[in-house]
Amino acid sequence: MNITFCCTDTKAQPWLDGLRAAFPEASVEVWEPGAPQADHAVVWAPPQQFLDQQQALKGLFNIGAGVDALLKLHLPPGVKVVRLDDAGMSVQMAEYVCHAVIRHFREFDGYEADVKAGKWSYRKPRDRQDFSIGVMGLGVLGERVARALRVFDFPVHGWSRTPKAIEGVVTHSGEAGFDTFLSNCRVLVNLLPLTPDTRDILNRDTLGRLKPGGYLINVARGAHLVEADLLALLESDQMAGATLDVFRTEPLPADHPFWNHPRITITPHTSARTLRDESIAQIAGKIRALEAGQPVAGVVDPVRGY
Ligand code: NDP
């Protein structure tokens, strides 16, 4: 069996070591033009040339949860595109989102500034019941985040394409449920995949439908957000602030207004990192299952886009 590693911006050697340990009987190599045909490939942002050369590929394993960049390419016919299915990402995402929500809810930025200025001051506690949080996308990551937020007794709403039931979470679905979902939320957490249906979904109209003083946490993809619309809503005080981990252009350009905006917190696309050992173990299990003709979780539907 040939397993090919073709990942941009990723140090290959530790992945090769891990995959070779999992498949001592296989050839595991980094792809280069003219390399033998792969049976399975472990990829991140592979070049089109790599895909064009694959005639026998059975599994294309993306080392991330989002497959938007991969689905833009022309894929070999019949190949199964398989995403990472949690592999240690959902707990990181829950940490990140809970941190961002609590930091905003408890006004920790304000306290930090006061302390730096030598001030011992109190702020009025906010009403938790008036601080409802909406999670867009109730998949592997969104569901974990929604459940984690419930631990702190925030009212939590969730929105997905198809109906879902999550204990303690008020769920909405489809276009029909979108308006009610938005109008119930003060904080909006985006965990949707980037597809033609969800591109630009965070815009002046949708963000403007949040409760007054809305707050956005975007941890999915930069192209979900119309950046100028967020800036305008902050400028007019219709929204209170945002925590953003993803951007339309990454790295964020040096002159971008988000860098120094007083009400925007940014992080460099780090909310849920790919954990190598967990990912290799998961991918190895799935390669074995595919080879044995068994079903695997996390197979992407290219028409749906996730
Ligand atoms: P999943 O595929 O497991 O879940 C996607 C969810 O979005 C599902 O609940 C799905 O609904 C819902 N959804 C999709 N399209 C629509 C739509 N048109 N309207 C309403 N709901 C929709 O994905 P994950 O939870 O694993 O990951 C989500 C995204 O997070 C990834 O695609 C990626 O872009 C991003 N991500 C970001 C990271 C970071 O570090 N910033 C790290 C990892 C992922 P249904 O359940 O009905 O199918």
At 129 the pLDDT is 97
Q: Residue 303: inside a domain, yes or no?
A: no
Looking at the structure of the chain, the number of domains it has is 2
Specify whether 259 is located in the same domain as 278.
Answer: no
Specify whether 156 is located in the same domain as 124.
Answer: yes
- Ligand 1 in reach of 67 Cβ (< 6 A): no
At 145 the pLDDT is 99
Q: Residue 300: inside a domain, yes or no?
A: no
Q: Which of 104, 147, 161, 221 is catalytic?
A: 221
Specify whether 197 is located in the same domain as 106.
Answer: yes
Specify whether 205 is located in the same domain as 244.
Answer: yes
At 174 the pLDDT is 98
Specify whether 17 is located in the same domain as 149.
Answer: no
Specify whether 258 is located in the same domain as 172.
Answer: yes
- Ligand 1 in reach of 179 Cβ (< 6 A): no
pLDDT (tens place) for every residue of the chain, 306 residues total: 999 999 998 999 999 999 999 999 999 999 999 999 999 999 999 999 999 999 999 999 999 999 999 999 999 999 999 999 999 999 999 999 999 999 999 999 999 999 999 999 999 999 999 999 999 999 999 999 999 999 999 999 999 999 999 999 999 999 999 999 999 999 999 999 999 999 999 999 999 999 999 999 999 999 999 999 999 999 999 999 999 999 999 999 999 999 999 999 999 999 999 999 999 999 999 999 999 999 999 999 999 999
Do 170 and 156 contact (CB within 8 A), yes or no? yes
Q: Residue 299: inside a domain, yes or no?
A: no
Specify whether 12 is located in the same domain as 124.
Answer: no
Domain of 282 in residue numbering reads as 2-87+274-292
Q: How far is CA 125 from CA 97, 109, 195, in A?
A: 20, 14, 39
Specify whether 278 is located in the same domain as 258.
Answer: no
Q: Residue 252: inside a domain, yes or no?
A: yes
- Ligand 1 in reach of 197 Cβ (< 6 A): yes
- The CATH number of residue 244's host domain is 3.40.50.720
Question: Has 269 been annotated as catalytic?
Answer: yes
ipTM of the complex model = 0.99
Question: Has 221 been annotated as catalytic?
Answer: yes
Specify whether 95 is located in the same domain as 26.
Answer: no
- Ligand 1 in reach of 274 Cβ (< 6 A): no
Specify whether 73 is located in the same domain as 111.
Answer: no
Report how far residue 115's alpha carbon sits from residue 231's, in angstroms, rounded to the nearest whole number. 28
Report how far residue 5's alpha carbon sits from residue 89's, in angstroms, rounded to the nearest whole number. 21
Strand partners, 188: 134, 216
